């Protein structure tokens, strides 16, 4: 079977299927999506997993970071993605402060994504410090994807969006984080913006799949942000590749639409409907006599 073909194209992807893909050395394809039509297109294209990332805040809602994203934002967009998804595994990001306050709060918040939005799993940022949280969620039947390296919710601690774990001490710490997540029961872990050599080491040491973004080709899969893949963002991050210029296509379609409205070329006859000429004549006759809807019945 070709590496470009999913394990079983007819079957919905499960967390255990991702593990089987790692074992079969079949690269896992994950992408973010935030609404029904884009999820449908990703699903039809055969991606294995769709992440409703809290990147929602930056690429869709216009915030400067992921920190303002709320539970309500994530629940609504996750439900929209699930409605557009038939085969791909739908994973919801736990937003900032939804899993830090208390164990009870975390469990309730994570559970809402499965119960109210229909997601199959949640993702949360952090390594050793969230291992007990991951264990608690997994024990409650909530599959968890970990996320380590350049975790955007920690942007204020990192002092910007920088590649992480370039030095040996930090690299060792990241390896410990990865093992802690696996030991806690995570079904996969995202490795974001870490050196390729380190990501390859993590991928070799873990039994669970690693999904890289800016972490080189040695991961078990890759994740990209929808708008980056399509060339719809204001800029393209170093770790992304534009596979299309959809932004340019949208802009030129909008210009063409605006021009046609302004010069009267749109709408044409075929874009609307018409009344029977007798009905038009009747309306004109009644209006001439000052008759309104309320008294039209009497007149007839």
| Size of residue set near ligand KIV by CB under 6 A | 12
Tell me if 226 sits within 8 A of 32, measured CB to CB. yes
Q: Which residue is nearest to ligand KIV (CB)?
A: 53
Q: Which of 92, 190, 202, 230 binds ligand KIV (CB under 6 A)?
A: 190
**x-or-dash pattern for ligand KIV, window 127-166, by CB under 6 A?**
--------------------x-------------------
Q: Which two tokens stand for residue 31?
A: 């992408």
Instruction: For 64-80, give one letter per residue: b (16+ CB within 10 A) or e.
Output: ebbbebebebbbbbbbb
Q: Look at residues 168, 133, 154, 143 and name the one whose alpha carbon lies nearest to residue 91.
A: 143
Q: Is 43 in the site for ligand KIV (CB under 6 A)?
A: no
Q: How far is CA 240 from CA 96, 219, 226, 233, 281, in A?
A: 24, 15, 10, 11, 61
Q: Which of 42, 213, 219, 232 binds ligand KIV (CB under 6 A)?
A: 213
Q: Is 214 in the site for ligand KIV (CB under 6 A)?
A: no
Q: Is 225 in the site for ligand KIV (CB under 6 A)?
A: yes
Query: Which region, judged by CB under 6 A, interacts with ligand KIV, from 52-60, 174-182, 243-251, 274-282?
Result: 52-60
Tell me if 226 sits within 8 A of 42, measured CB to CB. yes
Q: How far is CA 21 from CA 114, 144, 188, 209, 220, in A?
A: 24, 17, 12, 8, 8
If the CB atoms of residues 56 and 200 are measured against ligand KIV, the closer one turns out to be 56
If the CB atoms of residues 163 and 291 are measured against ligand KIV, the closer one turns out to be 163
If the CB atoms of residues 96 and 175 are measured against ligand KIV, the closer one turns out to be 96
Minimum Å gap between C-beta 183 and ligand KIV is: 21
**Segment holding 122, helix H or strand E:** strand 121-123
Minimum Å gap between C-beta 292 and ligand KIV is: 56
Alpha helices (H) in the chain, listed in sequence order: 15-23, 36-44, 56-59, 71-83, 103-115, 131-139, 155-158, 168-184, 196-205, 226-230, 246-263, 277-288, 293-299
If the CB atoms of residues 148 and 294 are measured against ligand KIV, the closer one turns out to be 148
Q: Which of 43, 48, 54, 73 binds ligand KIV (CB under 6 A)?
A: 54
Q: Is 55 in the site for ligand KIV (CB under 6 A)?
A: yes
CB atoms within 10 A of CB 35: 17
Instruction: Please tell me which residue in 44, 104, 125, 192 is annotated as part of the active site.
Output: 192
Using CB under 6 A, list all residues that contact ligand KIV: 32, 51, 53-55, 93, 147, 190, 192, 213, 223, 225
Catalytic residue numbers read 192
């Amino acid at each position: 079977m070709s590496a470009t073909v999913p394990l079983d194209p007819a079957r919905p992807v499960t967390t255990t299927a991702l593990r089987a893909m790692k074992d079969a050395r079949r690269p896992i394809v994950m992408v973010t999506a935030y609404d029904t039509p884009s999820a449908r297109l990703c699903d039809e294209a055969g991606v294995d997993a769709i992440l409703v990332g809290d990147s929602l805040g930056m690429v869709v809602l216009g915030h400067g970071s992921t920190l303002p994203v709320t539970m309500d934002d994530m629940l609504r967009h996750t439900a929209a993605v699930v409605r557009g998804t038939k085969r791909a595994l739908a994973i919801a990001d736990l937003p900032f402060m939804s899993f830090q306050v208390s164990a009870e709060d975390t469990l309730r918040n994570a559970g809402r994504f499965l119960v109210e939005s229909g997601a199959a799993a949640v993702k949360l940022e952090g390594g050793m410090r969230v291992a007990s949280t991951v264990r608690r969620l997994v024990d409650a039947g909530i599959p968890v994807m970990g996320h380590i390296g350049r975790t955007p919710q920690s942007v204020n601690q990192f002092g910007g969006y920088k590649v992480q774990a370039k030095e040996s001490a930090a690299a060792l710490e990241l390896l410990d984080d990865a093992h802690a997540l696996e030991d806690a029961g995570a079904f996969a872990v995202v490795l974001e913006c870490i050196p390729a050599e380190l990501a390859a080491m993590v991928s070799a040491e873990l039994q669970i799949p690693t999904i890289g973004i800016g972490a080189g080709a040695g991961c078990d899969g890759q994740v990209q942000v929808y708008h980056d893949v399509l060339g719809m963002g204001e800029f393209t991050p170093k770790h992304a590749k534009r596979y299309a210029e959809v932004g340019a296509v949208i802009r030129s379609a909008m210009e063409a639409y605006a021009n046609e409205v302004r010069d009267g070329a749109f709408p044409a006859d075929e874009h609307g409907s018409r009344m029977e000429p007798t009905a038009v004549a009747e309306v004109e006759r009644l209006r001439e006599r000052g008759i309104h809807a309320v008294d039209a019945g009497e007149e007839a």
